[in-house]
A and B are shown apart, each in its own frame.
Chain A
């Protein structure tokens, strides 16, 4: 993904109190329209150039950051930064949508009482974030991985099993028979002759 320069490691959780009761003069001019503003600024950080991940370039260009389930949507810049301006105090939810990655939604509390204080926590793991750096919890692989071909997988397939069993019966069984003591063999054959094992007999025995 985009380069991550060292300065990004600094505190990213910025709170810009655009409007405060103190600044009436010039700042009040800022308050045009819906300007009652706190700014939520943060960064989406997608690490590890995952070249192996199904050919999708791990770019932030299609990373959307969503505030409050679609109330506002913004895009991450090449360096991953994003910002929402004019957010009122309260508890908000930030979601990140980026194909190929699973992000936990983030609960962001903007305190009205002590301006300048923002708290953020992942809702999935309840982990509290010290700085608003959103990292994917895991990569998402949308496809089943095809097992590489191996003799074992072929043998494990039902048809492979059939063939294998067959071969076993044909080649190994006679050998085993030969290894049996001729006298024992004779005895066994005698026994067989006396009460022949038929398929129907087997069945009836199984049912009984």
Chain B
């Protein structure tokens, strides 16, 4: 009896199984899944100051200050970060010092904020606010002498202010404002034998002022002023304890000023007497007692002071080099280091200052050629086992990386250029070569089964501690995700990032390792001024089909200087190897880069570069691309946003160009312009759709089986303007005087499709535009909360295409071409909601076919990334949705957007100083790859509607196998049983 129903039952149950599995896949991750599909990397940025712990403390640590406004303590053995604080960019760090051997003092915001951090763990101990005029070059001087006061004083000078702060609790001991107008304190130094502090400042262009102050009270003991003939440019260095070296206004000679006596005595030395072929700018650097370094573009000269009498050149380095500050070795000995490039190596030279001509150490170190020149050296010494002094040095390279050099070797290196990513693009990996041996497969199968048995044990809680560890290691290691070949799901890719230093690096999405890096020669500048800057990175060639065998390539676009008329620079790199295939200096400037969707026959993408004369230049310059372009030229329009003049202009292209004979140059014609009234509106943000965005369907079927047609136009531009008073920070404007206007503009015709005013709202505005909707974030001054608003735009002209009969008979307008010139009938829906946090960046998930529902990726003020379902930002939400609407999945309206901690894609990580979020579609429709960058990097895979098209790694194959076995066994068992029973019945 039992046998027959089993068939139907099995089918039923199998169906059940499939359904159940689809619904049990979790959106959030479990703690033990951290690191499976995501990685997080911490960086600090380019080091500009480094202070070593004293040897006595026994800790091998160094505290650094970086250009990314990070203060951090690093392990000297490995380069790992012990602690780190990323200070806001509004609060730039100026100086760093150690005090009492247990505090790190940092001076920031132009000498107005002094903070003390606990050296071992980085906890902030105190913070003192100083009332000074912010100075570009504040000084921080820790008084070394314990005789002065019990609480070690720290002297801060900024502009004409000077403060003495106790380093124990941050209380201000004394303060002094010098009466001399325009005074800027340049140097503060302490007399070693008495309690006198010398402060040397420059007032105006020529006046030198010297103050002798009492260290205890700040009382002025002596005040000497002297005017120097020819004026001063403001650059000064200390030559020795009693000698100041100042550059004159013409930057042609040096003043050697003795300030220890009763009056200032000085002597003038022409630089041309010292260094012959001096061209361009140069820089002075104090090395140590009696030795200064003069740095020009290509050379460094070490100059020795002979009192005020003059200077002599001790040594000259003609290769790019860097000199460290002096390091006190013993009572009388100071050492300093010079790093010099010699061929492909760098030379590490250490000298004592009292005998500059001889060298203590000369080591040659091999260094990766893609790091560029040495920019800074920080020398440190250690005691060897034989009680002699050994030397090591931290070296900052041109690509912002940090190396530790010791005994002729690079002990460790940090790729801190990655803290300043400018732009990101992606590249596919090479296709896997066929020919996988059978043995490999068998081995893999065995391993695979073993892994799954282990996992099953874990699920059933049968695994012991070792096995649990093995399971975790197995999952994290998963060699599969780190392969250098393309995978079926498109999870493995190269993230190609461009950094501020002009270095391009390719990171593997599997584990974030660097596959290749290249410091682009065309973006390397001189040491002073004229620095080329890399701006954007684009995909240049993405081969398909016929030219599949060629490697893809990327294009790096930059400027050769800071000014707007500086010519542009192109560099094309191979995406697989990082080799520079081609680089060129454009003969025109670069204002706007427009990547086109067109490709030429070799699959190179066409790019239009608009110069400052409003001419457009086509790249690549090949007849083939020109053909493709000319064919489409009449359909090409572009727009430009001028924030200064508050104008948006639309342009079309024309064949002729002012430059004769250049057929790749096109003139532009202004078609329309929207001038916003400057007294009431300021452009805050413009946003457009991502060029590579894929939309699955135009129609949207709503609850009552009605159809709405999305207004899908690639030319839709969102513009938000704020009233001038509301352009500042929160707290600076009253609700009555603040307003925000949101526009939807068609970029071809300049027609304003929609305009909405939010009264009492102000920036900062962040927006994201996708498909037919725009979401923007702003501050509501009336409610004093942040708000997010959504605008959806629908095409009404297609609204009557609902009748199936009409579709069949052909009386529909679906096939009518869409043109921007026709007046569109659009319907707009909008809604706004409260949102708790400030936002740093906003983006939206992109998937391969655009079927998967979208999530907004919101970088919050806490440097986390929140994935918020677009369903929460649906203008059709209402407080009491009807049954139909509920079925459609409309969420009942709430006044604020929910923040579920489990929807933070960064989970417990923070992407410090978050700047950008990039979503890259994988081949698998359900999944998108999310890369977030700031000072840190974070990468993860995200499935906005859960992974409906694949089984997750979590899927227990072993359990499935066991179930099948049990089922089969049961079938056999029941069959035998029923047979027996039947037999028994027959015998009866």
Task: Enumerate chain A interface residues (CB-CB to B < 8 A).
Answer: 29-35, 54, 56, 59-61, 64, 66-78, 83, 85-88, 90-93, 95, 97-100, 102, 104-105, 107, 123-124, 140-146, 148-149, 154, 157-159, 161-163, 165-167, 169-170, 173-174, 177, 199, 202
Q: Does B333 contact A (CB under 8 A)?
A: no
Do the beta carbons of B861 and A66 come within 8 Å of each other? yes
A143 contacts B29, CB within 8 Å?
A: yes
B 90-146 contacts with A by CB, 8 A: 90-91, 112, 115, 121-127, 129, 131-134
Check B779 for interface membership: any CB of A closer than 8 A. Answer: yes
Q: In the complex, how many angstroms separate the beta carbon of A206 from the nearest chain B beta carbon?
A: 11
11 A-B pairs with CB atoms under 8 Å apart are: A30-B131, A61-B123, A75-B115, A77-B125, A92-B730, A97-B862, A140-B904, A141-B901, A144-B29, A157-B20, A174-B977
Q: How far is the CA of A202 from the CA of B5 in the complex (A)?
A: 11
Distance of A107 Cα from B779 Cα, bound (Å): 12
Confirm or deny: B963 has a beta carbon within 8 angstroms of a beta carbon on chain A. Answer: yes
* Interface 9-residue window, one of B241-249, B293-301, B620-628, B967-975: B967-975
Alpha-carbon separation in the docked complex, A76 to B85 (Å): 12
A144 in contact with B730 given A61-B122, A78-B123, A163-B967 (CB within 8 Å): no
CA distance A93 to B125 in the complex (A): 25
Residues of A within 8 A of B9 (CB): 165, 169
In the complex, which of the residues A29, A78, A140 has the most CB atoms of chain B within 10 Å of its own CB atom?
A140
B604-652 interface (Cβ within 8 A of A): none
B7 touches A199 (CB 8 A): yes
Chain B residues 456 to 490 lying within 8 A of chain A, measured CB to CB, are 459-461
Q: 7 shortest A-B CB distances, which residue pairs?
A: A97-B862, A140-B901, A158-B20, A73-B88, A85-B129, A69-B838, A159-B963
* Complex interface residues of chain B between 958 and 988 (CB less than 8 A to chain A): 959-960, 962-963, 966-967, 970, 973-974, 977
CB-contact partner of B460 in A95, A149, A159, under 8 A: A149
Determine which of B32, B734, B908 lies in contact with A100 in the assembled complex, contact meaning CB atoms within 8 Å.
B908
Query: Which residues of chain B come closer than 8 Å to A157, judged between CB atoms?
Result: 20, 24, 959
B88→A142 contact, CB < 8 A: no
Report chain A residues within 8 Å CB of B764. Answer: 69
- In the complex, besides A32-B132, A73-B90, A102-B899, 20 extra interface pairs with C-beta distance below 8 angstroms are A33-B134, A64-B862, A66-B861, A68-B729, A68-B731, A69-B730, A72-B88, A91-B781, A93-B784, A99-B908, A123-B785, A143-B28, A143-B34, A145-B30, A146-B32, A159-B17, A166-B966, A167-B970, A170-B2, A173-B2
Of residues B124, B131, B910, B974, which shows the largest number of chain A Cβ atoms within 10 Å of its Cβ? B131
Residues of B within 8 A of A97 (CB): 861-863
Q: Count A/B pairs, Cβ under 8 Å.
A: 194
Q: Does B355 contact A (CB under 8 A)?
A: no
- Measured between beta carbons, the chain B residues less than 8 angstroms from A69 are 729-730, 764, 779, 786, 838, 861
Seen from chain B, the residues whose Cβ lies within 8 Å of a Cβ on chain A are: 1-2, 5-9, 13, 16-17, 20-21, 24, 26, 28-32, 34, 83, 85, 87-88, 90-91, 112, 115, 121-127, 129, 131-134, 161, 177, 459-461, 729-732, 734, 764, 779, 781, 783-786, 836-838, 840, 861-864, 896, 899, 901-902, 904, 907-908, 910, 959-960, 962-963, 966-967, 970, 973-974, 977
B contact residues around A72 at 8 Å (CB): 88, 90-91
Q: A78-B125, A163-B967 are in contact. Are A32 and B730 (CB under 8 A)?
A: no
Assembled-state Cα–Cα distance A106/B840 (Å)? 19
Contacts of B85 in A (CB 8 A): 75
Contact A90 B31 (CB under 8 A): no
Report the Cα distance A162→B467, complex, angstroms. 29
Instruction: Determine if B177 and A29 form an interchain contact, defined as CB atoms under 8 angstroms apart.
Output: yes
In the complex the two chains form, is B963's CB within 8 Å of A163's CB? yes
Q: How far is the CA of A78 from the CA of B122 in the complex (A)?
A: 11
B902 touching A141, Cβ below 8 Å: yes
CB nearest to A192 among chain B residues? B1
Q: Are A162 and B13 in contact (CB under 8 A)?
A: yes
Chain B residues within 8 Å of A88, by CB: 731-732
Q: Are B838 and A32 in contact (CB under 8 A)?
A: no
Name A142's contact: one of B460, B786, B837, B907 (CB within 8 Å): B907
Which chain A residues lie closer than 8 Å to B133 at the CB level? Answer: 32-33
A56 to B967, CA, bound (A): 45
CA distance A141 to B904 in the complex (A): 10
Within the assembled complex, what's the spacing in Å between the Cα atoms of A113 and B85? 38
- CB closest residue in chain B, given A18: B131
B132 proximity list for chain A (CB < 8 A): 32-33
In the complex, chain A residues whose CB is within 8 Å of the CB of B962: 159
Partner of A92, one of B32, B731, B908: B731
Q: Least Cβ distance of B83 to chain A in Å? A: 8
Contact A86 B31 (CB under 8 A): no
Asked if B6 contacts A169 (CB within 8 A), the reply is yes
Residue of A nearest to B784 (CB): A107
Chain B residues with Cβ below 8 Å from A158 are: 13, 16-17, 20-21
Q: Which of these, B30, B129, B784, B836, contacts A146 with CB under 8 Å?
A: B30
CA distance A161 to B966 in the complex (A): 12
Distance from A16 Cβ to chain B, minimum over Cβ atoms (Å)? 11
Instruction: Report yes or no: B837 in contact with A95, Cβ–Cβ below 8 A.
Output: yes
Residues from chain B with Cβ under 8 Å of A169 in the complex: 2, 5-6, 9, 974
User: Complex: how many Å from CA A77 to CA B125?
Assistant: 6
Enumerate chain A residues within 8 angstroms of B121, measured Cβ to Cβ.
61
Known: A70-B88, A75-B124. A163 touches B966 (CB 8 A): yes
Complex interface: chain A residues within 8 A of B908 (CB): 54, 56, 99-100, 142-143
| Given A77-B124, A78-B125, A92-B731: A66 in contact with B838 (beta carbons within 8 A) | yes
Q: State the Cβ distance, B134 to closest chain A Cβ, in Å.
A: 6
Cβ-neighbour of A91 out of B87, B461, B731 (below 8 A)? B731
Question: Closest chain B residue to A170 by CB distance?
Answer: B974
Collect the chain B residues with CB atoms within 8 Å of residue A78's CB.
123-125
Q: Measured between alpha carbons, how far is A142 from B5 in the docked complex, in Å?
A: 46
Residue of A nearest to B460 (CB): A149
- A144 x B2 contact (CB < 8 A): no
Which residues of chain A come closer than 8 Å to B16, judged between CB atoms? 158, 161-162
A159 and B731 contact, Cβ closer than 8 Å, known pairs A59-B123, A77-B127, A199-B8 = no
Cα(A146)–Cα(B33), bound, Å: 11
Q: Which residues of B contact A199 (CB under 8 A)?
A: 7-8
Residues of chain A lying within 8 A (CB to CB) of residue B21? 158
Contact between chains at B134 and A144 (CB < 8 Å): no
Contact of B901 among A59, A74, A98, A142 (CB under 8 A): A142
A138 to chain B, nearest CB (A): 9
| Chain A residue with the shortest CB-CB distance to B18 | A158
B88 and chain A: residue at smallest CB distance: A73
Determine the distance from Cα of A170 to Cα of B973 in the docked complex, in whole angstroms. 9
A17 to chain B, nearest CB (A): 14
B30 touches which one: A144, A154, A166 (CB < 8 A)? A144
- Assembly CA distance A165 to B731 (angstroms): 66
Name which residue of chain B comes closest to A198, CB basis: B4
Nearest-CB distance from A102 to chain B (Å)?
Answer: 7
The answer on a CB contact under 8 Å between B730 and A99 is no
A73 x B124 contact (CB < 8 A): no
| B91: contacting residue among A29, A73, A140, A159, CB under 8 A | A73
Q: Complex Cα distance A33/B973, Å?
A: 91
A166 close to B731 (CB less than 8 A)? no
Q: How far is the CB of A69 from chain B (nearest CB, A)?
A: 4
In the assembled complex, the Cα of A161 lies from the Cα of B641 at a distance in Å of 62
Residues of B contacting A124 in the complex (Cβ-Cβ under 8 angstroms):
836, 896
Q: Is the CB of A144 within 8 A of B836?
A: no
**B862 contacts A33, C-beta separation under 8 Å:** no
Q: A143–B17 contact, CB under 8 A?
A: no
Chain A residue numbers with a CB within 8 Å of B26 are 144
Docked Cα-Cα span, A148 to B458, in Å, equals: 11
* Cα(A124)–Cα(B895), bound, Å: 11
Chain B residues contacting A30 (CB-CB under 8 Å) are 131
The answer on a CB contact under 8 Å between A95 and B91 is no
**Distance (whole angstroms) from the CB of A108 to the closest CB of chain B:** 9
Taking a contact as CB atoms under 8 Å apart, the answer to whether B28 and A144 are in contact is: yes
- Counting chain A CB atoms within 10 Å of each CB, the highest count among B121, B127, B161, B784 belongs to B784
